[in-house]
Amino acid sequence: MAKGDEERDESPAAEAERLRSLIGEYDYAYHALDAPRVPDAEYDRLFRRLAEIEAEHPELVSATSPTQRVGARPVGEFREIRHARSMLSLDNAFHEDELAAFDKRVSERLAAAGISADIIDYVAEPKLDGAAVSLRYAEGKLEFAATRGDGTTGEDVTHNVRTIAAVPFVLRGHDVPPVLEVRGEVYMPREGFEDFNRLAAQRGEKTLVNPRNAAAGSLRQLDSEMTARRPLAIFFYGIGETRGWELPPTHAEVLDALRTFGFRVSPDWRLVSGIAGCMAYYEDIGRRRNRLPHDIDGVVYKVNRLRWQAELGAASRAPRWAIAHKFPAQEELTTVEAIEFQVGRTGALTPVARLAPVFVGGVTVSNATLHNIGELHRKDVRAGDTVIVRRAGDVIPEVVKVIEERRPAGTSIVELPDRCPVCQSEVVRPEGEAVARCAGGLICGAQRKQALRHFASRHAMDIEGLGEKLIEQLVDAGLIETPADLYSLTLDELTGLERMGDKSAANLLDALERRKSTTLARFLFALGIREVGEATAASLATSFVDLDTLRHADEEQLLEVPDVGPVVAERVRTFFQEPHNGAVIDKLLEHGIHWPRPAPARALESPFSGKTVVLTGSLSTMARAEAKAELEKRGAKVTGSVSKKTDIVVAGENPGSKLAKAQDLGIAVMTEEELVRRLEPGSP
């Protein structure tokens, strides 16, 4: 019974009728609307339950039952095409014992036909997760293409299939069959799917649900130009009707022939022997599954000898000579028990759904990411919801969508918390950004190790001997929580740590003491304020000189600092306004961290004093670094980009776009010769 359905006390006839109705609704949504409502695993579970009931009660079998046909009939928007040979579906095996039972049935049926085979050879191929099509070629030229439809009749999608680059219009070679019907799977590669969705999101357009449904939906576009814009691909895996061509004896040779004719065949198919060979292939492709450029949901095994295939024949909906060995479901249904916010090492708040445990992707999943507050609101996930959860390989499980018709009454939209759930510092989310963050960078437990590693790093406080492993030990032992705690460490505390001797401990304490003398720029960089790198920290130190003034600066004052824009100004202001951060800074200063107050620099008298200068192109008389140093000695600020704040652009050889931008903005342009002349003492 489907997860989330209420247990029912019903007769087999009533249950069968209910399942037929439910499967019919899901078939319509999947095939006709291209809008699947449940994961494959849920559909398979319902289908198998119905098949069990009908097997136990043959009198309940109906001609209209989903078990008696391949799929839903096509919608009436396309011309219908009747397949010369039916496009059958495949039975599924989910466990090794089911695969072994299939192999046993094959052997027994062959034996009944007078064919003795101790070990059956199979062609094993990845089971692509896309849309099946049949292409018919007459005299080597593409005649038409059709979808699977109900297995007997499909939809004419020739105009869309022609847009797929891998589909040959004319077959290769001089001995192509007069009539050849080939079967293939249209799919959308993962990279193409992600690129398409990213661009669609940027344009404010509807994004695609997943690569499988993207492929099916693309084939059903009335306008082939829309299909052509979608990155579709195809692999061919078999044949339907043929005329005037003597088939080779094996399926493996059919695949080789298809490749010779110009069809794209999966490079991952293999010829294997018996169940052992099948399982070895299944395990190998399973390990490589997430490195493939396209989605697969299992493996298909086909009896290799075509004469044996003919002897085995087919049931009403599936061949007896092939089976699909499915991977553990990567999508499942479960319920959301709660939604919590986790704080990452950079302070990012990530909403996480706590789930009723469900087996998906080969493991039991009880948590799934919701990425960020914007994504949470877009999907509108709430506590109590029934959801589809997906897990692909080692990828963190995620909530795909909510089954809204199963939403209980009384649920409410989840809002972003005002305070960090770890340290109670303010949570900030700048306008236009998807990620919300904790502002307590120096005290937040979730950010602790990252903040300490940055504080001690070479370009920050440069504390020799305080590496990542030692920081891990100090935090895990509860000896430090903030950077200020480093300066309270004792020799006894340090020597009590693993692999920390008296000499190493003493050396670390000496390094901490030595590095109390630093510069304001290094100290600001060490604080780990977001968006404040070394250059910005140096600009802040130069502009404010005094830390206390910087700590109380408003946004307008911060924007006066060169290279500080609105985003950085907001980051700095928010950081210093957080009381927890201020308390840690005060403790650091109390421990004796200090820096020299720089004397006002006396710039050489020059026409560059107080000017913002940009160097572009190559200089022949001096290095760029030398020119920059000489300009700064004369009171200039040298930047790397041209803006309205730029006063002078010095153009060497091959100046590029910076010169053009300066000319557009009406900024003064100076040649290298003029620069050299004006750098001379007393130059006007």
Instruction: Give buried/exposed letters for 86-100 (b at 16+ CB in 10 A, else e).
Output: bbbbbbbbbeeeebe
Residue 639, phi-psi category: left (phi > 0), alpha (psi -120 to 50), beta (remainder): beta
Output the six-digit token pair for 680: 């001379």
Return the closest-CA partner of residue 220 out of 396, 358, 34.
Answer: 34
Listing DSSP states for 372-387 in one string gives SHHHHHHHT--TT-EE
Distances (CA, A) of 393 to 211, 289, 430: 16, 8, 34
What phi and psi values does residue 170 have, to the nearest 5 degrees? -130, 135
Return the closest-CA partner of residue 81 out of 30, 144, 31, 137.
Answer: 144
Helices 96-112 + 274-288 axis angle, to 10: 140
Q: Which helix (H) or strand (E) holds 162?
A: none
- Let me know: does 2 contact 45? Beta carbons within 8 Å: yes
Pairing of strands 386-390, 398-402: antiparallel
d(CA 627, CA 299): 65
Q: Which helix (H) or strand (E) holds 650?
A: strand 648-651
* Most distant CA pair in the chain, distance: 109
- Let me know: does 526 contact 454? Beta carbons within 8 Å: yes
Listing DSSP states for 302-361 in one string gives EESBHHHHHHH-B-SSSBTTEEEEEPSPSEEEEEEEEEEEEE-TTSEEEEEEEEEEEEET
Give the other-Cβ count within 10 Å of 400's Cβ. Answer: 16
- Let me know: does 608 contact 638? Beta carbons within 8 Å: no
Q: Catalytic pick from 104, 127, 503, 658?
A: 127
Output the six-digit token pair for 357: 């445990």
Say how many Å lie between the first and final Cα of the chain, rounded: 90
d(CA 508, CA 463): 8
E strands, 507-639, are 612-616, 637-639
Return the closest-CA partner of residue 42 out of 360, 291, 288, 267.
Answer: 360
C-alpha of 199 from chain center:
15
d(CA 71, CA 88): 10
- Listed in sequence order, the residues at least 6 apart from 662 whose beta carbon sits closer than 8 Å to its beta carbon are 614, 642, 646, 649, 651, 669
d(CA 133, CA 135): 7
- Let me know: does 423 contact 441? Beta carbons within 8 Å: no
Per the annotation, the verdict on 503 as an active-site residue is: no
Distances (CA, A) of 581 to 443, 483, 528, 575: 7, 11, 11, 7
Long-range contacts of 498-503 (CB under 8 A, 24+ apart): 498/473, 500/470, 500/473
d(CA 102, CA 114): 19
Token look-up 């247990």 returns 7
Return the closest-CA partner of residue 325 out of 359, 354, 285, 290.
Answer: 285
Give the other-Cβ count within 10 Å of 458's Cβ. Answer: 8
Amino acid at 310: A
Show which residues are catalytic. Answer: 127
